[in-house]
């Protein structure tokens, strides 16, 4: 009897299992259709990846461009371009441009994606021109002051405003300013000196940012040690402006 009852129950259990499997398959199919519908077209996905890579590059090396283009602030270390790294930067930009060109004409994409592609190509080409031999990074001291100013302000645009997080990150970045300006002076070796009036005005503006604007932004930090470290780095960064001036202006 026990065996007979077991045999009768077996088909019922099998029916339940089969029904559950069928329901699971239907749900999985529905999920797959939704996922397929939500995934961007391959070209759009590639464009998004190229845009993201470019945003990473400018956030790291050209914070002035990141600010100009409205790229959201990233928790990323500033790596100033110098004689040792600028050629590699140009190579990366050319690879990005090749990737963008491989997407074909902008007219073949949906209007919004086509506009993004045209904008990306224009920006990358412009930065290649500025970075390549003979470009603005090799002779324009005012551009370098723009880069440094954007870099020192970037830590105050991201992360928590409370406590000392921004102050700590700003201190680390200020320590990079002297090396950034020394590297810039080497890249501009042999270039004509900058226009004296424009150069002095830009130096004065950046010095004001360093000595007045940035210290005021550290008010949320109440740790004496952190504030002392910031003040020391800020003083060294401001002093490096005069070193930069002496390296570019004859007789200084």
* Mean pLDDT along residues 142-171: 90
Distance, first Cα to last Cα, the chain: 110
pLDDT at 20: 45
- Can you give the pLDDT at residue 74? 77
Q: Whole domain around residue 158: which residue ranges?
A: 139-252
Over 60: is that where the pLDDT of 6 sits? no
Averaged pLDDT for residues 125-141: 97
Asked if pLDDT for residue 65 goes beyond 80, the answer is yes
203 pLDDT tier (thresholds 50, 70, 90) = very high
Helix intervals (H) in the chain = 2-38, 42-61, 63-68, 86-101, 111-131, 141-153, 165-174, 177-187, 196-208, 214-216, 224-248
For the ranges 1-15, 62-76, 87-101, 208-222, the lowest mean pLDDT is seen at: 1-15
Of 137, 165, 193, the position where a domain reaches its end is: 137
Half-sphere exposure of 73 (CA within 13 A, CB side): 13
Report whether 90 contacts 128 (CB < 8 A).
Answer: yes
On whether both 125 and 176 belong to a single domain, the answer is: no
Task: Provide the 10 A C-beta neighbour count for residue 142.
Answer: 15
Q: Do 49 and 124 fall into the same domain?
A: yes
Count of structural domains within the chain: 2
Claim to verify: residue 160 and residue 128 sit in the same structural domain: no
pTM equals 0.80
Between CA 117 and CA 121 the distance in angstroms is 6
From 94, 117, 137, give the residue that closes a domain.
137
CA 34 to chain centre: 32
The DSSP string of 220-240 is T---HHHHHHHHHHHHHHHHH
């Amino acid at each position: 009897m026990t065996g007979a009852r077991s045999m009768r129950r077996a088909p019922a259990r099998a029916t339940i299992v089969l029904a559950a499997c069928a329901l699971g398959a239907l749900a999985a199919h529905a999920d797959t259709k939704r996922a397929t519908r939500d995934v961007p077209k391959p070209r759009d996905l590639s464009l998004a990846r190229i845009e993201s890579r470019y945003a990473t590059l400018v956030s790291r090396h050209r914070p002035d461009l990141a600010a100009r283009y409205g790229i959201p602030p990233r928790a990323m270390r500033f790596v100033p371009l110098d004689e040792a790294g600028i050629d590699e930067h140009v190579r990366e930009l050319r690879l990005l441009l090749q990737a963008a060109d491989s997407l074909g004409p902008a007219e073949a994409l949906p209007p919004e994606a086509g506009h993004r592609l045209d904008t990306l190509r224009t920006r990358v080409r412009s930065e290649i021109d500025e970075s390549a031999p003979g470009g603005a990074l090799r002779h324009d001291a005012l551009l370098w002051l723009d880069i440094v100013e954007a870099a020192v302000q970037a830590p105050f645009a991201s992360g928590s405003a409370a406590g000392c997080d921004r102050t700590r990150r700003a201190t680390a970045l200020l320590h990079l300013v002297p090396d950034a300006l020394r590297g810039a002076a080497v890249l501009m070796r042999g270039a004509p000196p900058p226009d004296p009036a424009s150069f002095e005005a830009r130096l004065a503006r950046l010095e004001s940012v360093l000595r007045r604007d940035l210290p005021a932004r550290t008010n949320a930090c109440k740790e004496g040690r952190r504030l002392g470290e910031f003040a020391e780095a800020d003083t060294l960064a401001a002093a490096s402006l005069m070193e930069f001036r002496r390296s570019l202006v004859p007789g200084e």
